A and B are shown apart, each in its own frame.
Chain A
Amino acid sequence: MDQRDYTIFIPEFIAAGSALAIIGLELFFPKIRRDIPAYLTALAALAWGIAGAFYIGKDPNNFQGLVQSDNYTTFFRLLAASIVFVTALMSASYMRERTKTAAEYYGLLLLAGCGLVYMAAARELITAYISLELLSFCLYILVGFLKRDSLSSEASLKYILLGAFSSAMLLYGISIIYGVTNSTGYDQIAVQLAQRSGDTDGAVIVGFVLILAGVGFKVSAAPFHMWAPDAYEGAPLPITGFLSTLSKAAGFALFVRLFTAAFQVDAPEWRWAVAFLAAATMVIGNLIAIQQSSLKRLVAYSSIGQVGYMLVVIAAIGYGDQELGRNASSALLLHIGGYVVSTLALFAALTAYYNRTGKDTIVGLRGLAETQPLLAMVITVSLFSFAGLPFFAGFATKLIMFQSATTDGLLWLVGLAVVNSFISLYYYLMVIRQMYLFEPEGGLTRFRPSPLLGALAGVLMLGVVFIGVYPTALYKAADRATETLYQQAPTGAVQAP
């Protein structure tokens, strides 16, 4: 088989090429309307997604064992394209009012998406690391994109500093694992770890912990979560949504491939740590969320709580056998899908609201049910979905996820997750209460969201309900995506760099 199969990169060629073209466009036509690049980006994302769709069901193929193209990659590719598509549309009027040059912003959205795809596709640690940095660099800039807004700049700076810190840890972890296994390819690592004598090796544990910290930072798992609320709060609103969907999906894309393909053989050395992280993350996220008054910070902590639930699956990969690991991974992909749709619905509605009123506190939502019932309904539906109420995506996906992750060693963790998701209902209801039970501040003035955002929020809300009522469709896709996770790379040995 061809070792250098460039065809697997075609969708990302499209995405990255469009990114450059869009940035260049503004360079040559500086007078262009500020929202044109947004629509072009949405088109590019669409083309990217369509190109990606051609890879569905194709035989797995790889590029020198570094990057693998299979259904798993395709799943995340389509996810990335959809996130970029929605975020670009969300940003159109938001960025138009706030910046003079926005083309880089949209180009970076596309490049960040590419970062996600290669984090999912990587079968080699250095490739994974570089993809992760591609994503991170884009996000650093996007968070601080509103240069004149001190909050945005400060958030970005914190994010960069801490991000660099955690990248160092990740690299250190990678180098230790390389030292032990003499390889950075997932397959080779698995082989070497399997051959390792049964004794506990301090280096392996330290290596795993460092890698966990590095990737855990990306998904904002406690105690590596502290950047998240600040970054969420400071970032432009659409980027907050982008962070809580793309960045988390990317982290887990890497997590799942790495921990199934490479580390599963040596599970006893790391699974307890993941279980601990999961427990700490969900408890901390949910408890602190109760105390928040800023809507963005509330969403940040609630998404930290959600990450705790998702980490349960990574722990389950360690505690169960391969079959359980695969089912749990499929369920995680399903949950990520549902979570992404719910989050995007929430942010589409919040952006629509913010564009009209400029309010982003919980109290600011007062009386929304009176002034703009559609947005209030979308927000309610997505919050109910986070809380896991029946008929909304969160219930079905969380149920399937928890049931597939239940093994003897993890019963306590699943129980804790269920209790936590009940706690979370409390603060979601606080938000909903503001919208439905209070009079709007400053009298009743109805307003209309922009048609684009209104339609976007409505469609996404229908998606939330669809996944909640009929999760099977998405689950099937997720299930096909995880087929190749435990298989060796289709072509022979991987050279260590």
Chain B
Amino acid sequence: MITEQAWLLAAVPAGMFVVLAIFGRFLPRQGDYLGVAAIGTSFVLMLIVAANFLQHRGGVGPWRNDFEWSNVGDFRLRMGIFIDPITIVMFGVVTTVSLMVNIFSIGYMKGEPRYYWFFAVLQLFAASMLMLVMADNLLLLYISWELVGVCSFLLIGFYWEKRSATEAAKKAFITTRIGDVGLLIGIILLWREAGTFNIEKIIEFAQNGGYSQAYLFVAMFSIFLGAMGKSAQVPFHVWLPDAMEGPTPVSALIHAATMVVAGVYLVARLTPLFEVADGMMLVIVIVGLTTALLSGFMALAQTDIKKVLAYSTVGQLGFMFVALGAGEPQIAMFHLMTHAFLKSLLFLGSGSVIHATHHNQELDKLGGLWKKMPITGTTFLIGSLALAGLPPLDAFWSKDEIFVGLADAWGAWAVIILGLAAVTTAFYATRLFIRTFMGKPLDDHVYEHTHESGFAMTFPLIVLAALAVVSGLVIFNGVGQALGFPGGITEFIYLPEEGPARYAIDWGFATASLGMAVVGIFSGAWLYWRGSLEKSTALARFQPGVYDMLRNKFYFDEMYQYAVDRVVLGLSFVVSWFDRYVVNDTGVDGSAQVTGYTGFILKYLQTGKVPNYAMAIALGVVGLAVAGLVVRG
């Protein structure tokens, strides 16, 4: 069956990475068309696999294809792929957005140094991301997880020459790796009891009560740390806004649509385990709510067009975690999909603006671009409204479902918090659009030189805008039936045992949801329409403290800086100080030379180190022996 050969999806771009990395610079146009072709192939393969999957659905169940990687001693390990509806959805999102971003990059990255390298890493990223979502065992998942992290690192730091870019890359890498420690520990803990890395088997093992409650909680909490790091949840969110130092297409692909949702994917994939671990769902929902709310506020005070979008991404990821915490992974996946389309649209739109205005991304210098850039403007408007949650655009449906699920699982308090987050979302989406495209141009010089972007850049915008309009509709039974998954997308992903049910709109929530969007949009429009700056700076004047706090993003960075300085470097300093002054380890400093070569051994000993070293050894031995006699005796 073709579905079992889905590994080809990842193999094609992986091969292209090697080709481009080695030969890219010698090819005409540095091989950008090859990159697009490889991703295009993956996209076509995705369509074939999805069609094949839908055709045989129900009869065969999940598809597997694995091989033995290691079989010696007690270490047996099979590696392979596993295709189920969640994988199919991720396939669709990753290949579609990747393809669009690759096409967009042809226009956007034109003339940049290391053009071939950019495309090469995009291929590697696509390959690892696709591998991540079809891995059937936690080890392969972890490897791909690290690989996408490396790609993200490479692409954030793409402009090596800029110090801020390398700093941001480092920050992203270190922050996510802190989470990754948790992930690896969690994986080892799960493996230890179950004796396998295979995801299905671990889930089966847990459901049969193989793990004790406390043990499973610790393991799943550790894994969740990994998801939080990758998906930039509070307090690990600090790296994502900085990651905007990377080229804008990268922000669209990696830091909005695909890599950052890996955490959501991971939790969705392991939902049965999280459900068994008592208390984890509450942790997830609280993290999600906190993130959604805080990031909404932080987005309000940003003046960099990409940073607004970055905080918005953090917030929408929070929405997805809320859905996961409500025990509705299918809704989280649905929101993941709708958000991927609209957010990559917004990022590419902002990229188009940045490109057109010669790398200007400060809102204070933009404004009034609508007339100059009609296509970008229109598609950006669609994206903003979708983000705000206006029906029938895609995020309306998924956001609405999240509210329904949340009310079911956790009740009113959670809904109110998330509602507030939804209003802020609509508000800053409106603010962003108006300050970029409406009103009078704030900087005439920038405005003069602006022009609509070329076809390579507008084409992806149009495609993604169309997706942002229609992709939400797949929740309906009718649409699903026509496309081959009766019951709509959520039933397709989840598929309860009693068979697909029809999706029905919960009118109460739909109205409330619409209300939130409208409140946010209108208050935003009232404040920012026609560039009335006085009103928009009202907060800064009346509550400078609050405004400063928002602008400084609740001082998270400062707190981290403090903690890192004090704890890690402090500890390291203390230990090396001890080594240097107490044990006097200043290294081989040539002090022997001072004494000349005529000296006796005693003279060398006067360097003061050897006796100290010997003393350390002796103390070590005595200490151990005494400890042994005390402990054992």
Contact = CB atoms under 8 A, between A and B. Distances in A.
Interface residues of A, number: 76
B81 to A, nearest CB: 17
Interface in A404-438: 404, 406, 414-415, 418-419, 422, 425-426, 429, 433, 436-437
B143 A390 contact: yes
B387 to A, nearest CB: 35
B540 interface: no
B482 interface: no
B632 A200 contact: yes
B69 interface: yes
A133 interface: no
Contacts of A226: 579, 583, 585, 612-613, 616-617
B629 A291 contact: no
Interface string A177-210: 0000000000000000000000010100110111
Contact of B571 (A273, A287, A330, A402): A287
A425 B72 contact: no
A157 interface: yes
Contacts of B591: 154
B146 A389 contact: yes
B459 interface: no
B78 interface: no
B617 A165 contact: yes
Contacts of A476: 72
Nearest to B579: A288
Interface majority SS on B: helix, strand, loop or mixed? helix
B137 to A, nearest CB: 13
B617 A234 contact: no
A107 interface: no
A158 B613 contact: yes
Contacts, number: 178
Contact of B576 (A234, A273, A291): A291
A297 B579 CA distance: 13
A284 to B, nearest CB: 7
Contacts of A297: 587
Interface in B604-633: 604-605, 607, 609-610, 612-614, 616-617, 619-621, 624-625, 627-629, 631-633
Interface string B155-166: 001001000001
B73 A327 contact: yes
A309 interface: no
A472 B617 contact: no
A284 B73 contact: no
Contact of A406 (B139, B188, B593): B188
A288 B620 contact: no
Given A223-B616, A390-B143, A475-B72, A157 B579 contact: no
A327 B74 contact: yes
Nearest to B173: A429
B160 to A, nearest CB: 6
A233 B610 contact: no
Contact of B572 (A269, A291, A331, A472): A291
B413 interface: no
Nearest to A161: B610
Interface string B568-612: 010111011001000101011011110001000100110101101
A146 B159 CA distance: 44
A270 B628 CA distance: 8
Contacts of B575: 283-284, 287-288
A290 B611 CA distance: 26
A16 interface: no
Interface majority SS on A: helix, strand, loop or mixed? helix
A162 B181 contact: no
A391 interface: yes
A202 B191 contact: no
B620 A223 contact: yes
Contacts of B572: 287-288, 290-291
A313 interface: no
B208 interface: no
A276 B576 CA distance: 20
Interface in A364-415: 389-391, 395, 399-400, 402-404, 406, 414-415
Interface residues of B, number: 66
B632 A162 contact: no
Contact of A273 (B170, B588, B601, B628): B628
Nearest to B612: A226
Contact of B617 (A213, A330, A436, A437): A213
Contacts of A404: 73-75
Contact of B625 (A205, A403, A414, A426): A205
Contacts of A268: 632
B184 interface: yes
A209 B625 contact: yes
Interface string A35-57: 00000000000000000000000
B624 to A, nearest CB: 5
B192 interface: yes
B398 to A, nearest CB: 33
A205 B629 CA distance: 7
B624 A162 contact: no
A155 interface: yes
Interface string A259-272: 00000000011101
A475 B143 contact: no
Nearest to B632: A200
Nearest to A157: B604
Interface string B172-189: 011001101100110010
B592 A153 contact: yes
A224 interface: yes
Interface in A2-36: none
Nearest to A269: B632
A175 interface: no
Contact of A157 (B146, B177, B592): B592
B212 interface: no
A347 B182 CA distance: 33
Contacts of B173: 429
B266 interface: no
Contact of A229 (B73, B170, B188, B587): B587
Nearest to A423: B568
Given A209-B621, A230-B587, A472-B71, A154 B631 contact: no
Contacts of B75: 327, 331, 400, 403-404, 475
A213 B74 CA distance: 32
A399 B71 CA distance: 15
Contacts of A391: 143
A101 interface: no
B70 A472 contact: yes
A308 to B, nearest CB: 14
A162 B610 contact: yes
Given A157-B592, A209-B628, A224-B620, A390 B184 contact: no
Interface of A: 150-151, 153-155, 157-158, 161-162, 165-166, 169, 200, 202, 205-206, 208-210, 212-213, 217, 222-224, 226-227, 229-230, 233-234, 268-270, 272-273, 276-277, 283-284, 287-288, 290-291, 294, 297, 323, 327, 330-331, 389-391, 395, 399-400, 402-404, 406, 414-415, 418-419, 422, 425-426, 429, 433, 436-437, 471-472, 475-476, 479
23 contacts: A158-B588, A158-B609, A169-B617, A200-B632, A202-B629, A209-B624, A223-B617, A224-B620, A226-B613, A229-B587, A230-B587, A269-B632, A276-B627, A284-B575, A288-B579, A294-B587, A327-B74, A390-B142, A399-B139, A404-B73, A418-B185, A422-B177, A425-B177
Given A213-B620, A419-B181, A422-B177, 4 more contacts: A154-B592, A226-B585, A400-B75, A472-B72
Closest 10 CB pairs of A and B: A223-B620, A154-B592, A390-B143, A150-B593, A291-B576, A205-B628, A226-B613, A200-B632, A234-B588, A290-B572
